[in-house]
Amino acid sequence: MQTVEMRFDELVTLLPKFKLHAARAIEEAALLISNSFIKGNKILICGNGGSAADSQHFAAEFVNAFSKGINRKALPAIALSTDTSIITAIANDFTFDNVFSRQVEAYAIPGDVLVVFTTSGSSINCINAVTSAKVIGVTSIAFTQESAEISNLVDLCIEVPSVNTQHIQECHLLAYHVITELVEHNLFGDSK
């Protein structure tokens, strides 16, 4: 029971700090993504491990729908962590460091947005994806921890003021749910 109380208390303490630290970046991310969709562009999303799952979850919210009260068209979002043939071919034939950057090279065009989830902020394959995005003219957004290596490489950073991986991921989930709701509101109006 002590672990349960401790983890809940840690998150309850962290959430107000995260709100203060990241609220503006969350709103800016929603605007960047909204504008990309309005212009007919797409969102590419990547991450490793639990962050790979977050990238898939975030993409699904755009392709399907987040708010059940909005009957809307599907929005183009692709999770780069889902095609096992592409990922294993790149990793086996060359290097795992380029599993996302090669896909960015293949799919991205100027005006798209790359969203990178990296709790450590130092995942080489995520950093390489951001580097490839910059060459193409793609805006990049990182979800990471505070003062991460990737923070200085992206156009916009949503940082969680914690080094606890589980709490960083919990805050990332909250942030991308809010972003999806804001994007839907920007593009389609209120769900009520």
What's the predicted TM-score (pTM) here? 0.95
Q: Provide block-wise average pLDDT over 10 residues at a time, the chain (192 residues).
A: 91 96 98 98 98 98 91 96 97 97 98 98 98 98 97 98 96 98 92 52
What is the reported pLDDT for 164?
95
Q: Where along the chain do its domains lie?
A: 2-188
Q: In this structure, which CATH number among 2.60.40.790, 3.30.70.3040, 3.40.50.10490, 3.40.50.720 belongs to the domain 2-188?
A: 3.40.50.10490
What is the reported pLDDT for 191?
54
Question: What is the three-state SS of the chain?
Answer: CHHHHHHHHHHHHHHHHHHHHHHHHHHHHHHHHHHHHHCCCCEEEEECCHHHHHHHHHHHHHHCCCCCCCCCCCCCEEECCCCHHHHHHHHHHCCHHHCCHHHHHHHCCCCCEEEEECCCCCCHHHHHHHHHHHHHCCEEEEEEECCCHHHHCCCEEEEECCCCHHHHHHHHHHHHHHHHHHHHHHHHCCCC
